[in-house]
A and B are shown apart, each in its own frame.
Chain A
Amino acid sequence: MTTELLTDITIFVLALLVGFEVISKVPATLHTPLMSAANSIHGIVLAGAMLIAVTAHDALGYILAFVAAAFAAMNVVGGYVVTGRMLKMFRRSRTPVPAADTAAAVSGNGQTPAAGQQAGQRGGQA
């Protein structure tokens, strides 16, 4: 057993404990966005997929690099965008104070209007 491996295992175990500690505080209301956020975090596998390219020098390597990059990029991009979309819908009150958000609040038909989207990006938190 190498020192490197021991370090890796230590990091894994500690990260697991941090994960349990942090995530057990998330309220049930946010469990779907939480899972979606966790989903986007495991999109970090994109880093692994990109590193395949470093050692890919034959047809099989290229195919694996391509598919892995496509899978991981779908995971990471889709995960973050959909989590953001969900969290934007959680509002404290029916008539939010920021004027720009009202447009989104009034429509309430599931289609987020562009105005609300931009306001959300600028406003940080609704």
Chain B
Amino acid sequence: MSAFDWVTQLLYVAAATCFVFGLHLMNSPATARRGNQVSTAGMVVAVATTLALVAHAGTVTTTGWIVMIAGALLGGGAGLYAARTVEMTAMPQLVSIFNAVGGGAAALVGIHDYVRLASGGIGESTTVFTILDVLIGAVTFSGSIIAAGKLQGLIDGAPIVFPGSRAVNVAAALVAVGGACYMIATPSVVVLIIIILAALTFGVTMVLPIGGADMPVVISLLNAFTGTAVAMAGFVIGNWALIIAGALVGASGGILTKLMADAMNRSIRNIIVGGFGTGDSGPAIEGPGGDVRSIQADDAAIQLAYAQKVIIVPGYGLAAAQAQHQVAELASVLEERGVEVSYAIHPVAGRMPGHMNVLLAEANVPYPQLKEMDEINPEFARTDVALVIGANDVTNPAARRPGNPVSGMPILDVDHAKSIIVIKRSMGHGYAGIDNELYVDPKTSMFFSDAKGALTELTAAVKTLVA
């Protein structure tokens, strides 16, 4: 190894160290920003090192430099614009798009390497990693674009199942695997193109039948895929920085996928294969019955204003109505009256892991008030009012009993509070398609309205009480 090789390799190690340390600093909101800066510094080092390597190789043509720099500037500009302008509610779509381009780029690295070496004969082990890189990258690319389209509402968010869609999915998988086996035995660019098309088709038909509420799991899974594809690209070009970074992302995506699936009480296989929300989740189970008590803004405001401790339970309905600023305003008015306010965040509130926390942080809610499920559940028993906004299945006490679609799902113990106010448009079912027993609890009052309107009314009513 020449001195130049030594220096560049050590710089890559330094970059990888920065990535690990940056992720480590993400373990607390107080240090997380520094973590992102450390990670950014690592990336700058890695890219500068690569630039030096590229220049040192001396084989880059003028056209090569121009396309590389033009591409980077164009992509970087687009990324910068998107990152600066994106609404926090649209964060899942953006993350999905970044997954798509990351996976796509990884696939392209593999494709280029394969095409370049195809004429001269490639070692078997390299072929295996190239194929894995291209396949995973292509699946991630098309799957993430479909996921982003669903989240953005460009594609119907409901599960899309067309006649034979399952067959197409299976066929695409078989073609991809078969083609891959063939390529290991006999290098062929034509077969490479076929398996790329098959992988793209597989990505599309994998994500289309998955319903909108399963998106937190899907995004996490695609994130893990992207990381794996990047690591495979690292094997192909023999670059440790890519291998380490890809493995870190793969681990992160894997953990989040598991957490999300657990929080939704579903196996990953179950989500990918589909079924939930497509009508075959079993017959709706009747609740115990009982009367629903309806409440108006003034009465609800009195309950809230004279409470000592209030827990707000925000669900996707709150994010969908973009009412995070209204809820933060209500909370600050209550706090001025000396009411203790905190937020109970279920892991799958929102459209991606931790999404609700970002929305509330944007609305200026201090992060110590954002409580995770395990932390807040014991506190419900000494809570005067639990205010449920746009959350349904995650508050259903039926989950503690076996024999219904939500059985075993981790829930927020909202029913332990002394009284409960639920803001909801109607008595409609949640995603699991069953009645929520919480709504007929004698302690519960239903405030039928949309989240934004209800919160504005409540805030105004509480202010009137103060005056």
Contact = CB atoms under 8 A, between A and B. Distances in A.
Interface of A: 1-2, 4-5, 8, 11-13, 15-20, 22-57, 60-94, 105, 108-110, 120, 124-126
B59 interface: yes
A80 B250 contact: no
Given A1-B125, A108-B325, A71 B108 contact: yes
Given A52-B112, A86-B88, A94-B332, 6 more contacts: A30-B27, A35-B352, A48-B237, A49-B108, A61-B116, A75-B75
Interface stretch (B172-180, B356-364, B447-455): B356-364
A55 B40 contact: no
B252 A38 contact: yes
B252 A23 contact: yes
B86 A22 contact: no
Contact of A35 (B28, B87, B223): B223
B71 A67 contact: yes
Contacts of A44: 15, 19, 43, 46, 230, 241-242, 245-246
B102 A39 contact: yes
Interface of B: 15-16, 19-20, 22-24, 26-37, 39-40, 43, 46-47, 49-51, 53-54, 57, 59-61, 63-65, 67-80, 82-84, 86-88, 91, 94-95, 98-99, 101-102, 104-106, 108-109, 111-112, 115-116, 125, 219-220, 223, 226-227, 230-231, 233-235, 237-256, 259, 325, 328, 332, 345, 347, 350, 352-355, 357-358, 361-364, 366-368, 370, 372-373
Given A32-B355, A34-B26, A78 B82 contact: yes
Given A86-B91, A94-B332, A16 B366 contact: no
Nearest to A36: B95
8 contacts: A16-B248, A62-B63, A66-B67, A67-B105, A75-B101, A82-B83, A87-B33, A110-B87
B249 A93 contact: no
A95 B245 CA distance: 37
A55 B368 CA distance: 52
Contact of A91 (B40, B76, B104, B366): B366
Contact of B79 (A62, A78, A88): A78
Nearest to A96: B366
A92 B363 contact: no
Contacts of A52: 68, 108-109, 112
B366 A93 contact: yes
A53 B332 CA distance: 55
Contact of B98 (A49, A78, A85): A78
A22 B102 contact: no
Contact of B67 (A31, A47, A65, A75): A65
Contact of A89 (B34, B57, B243, B361): B361
Contacts of B345: 28-29
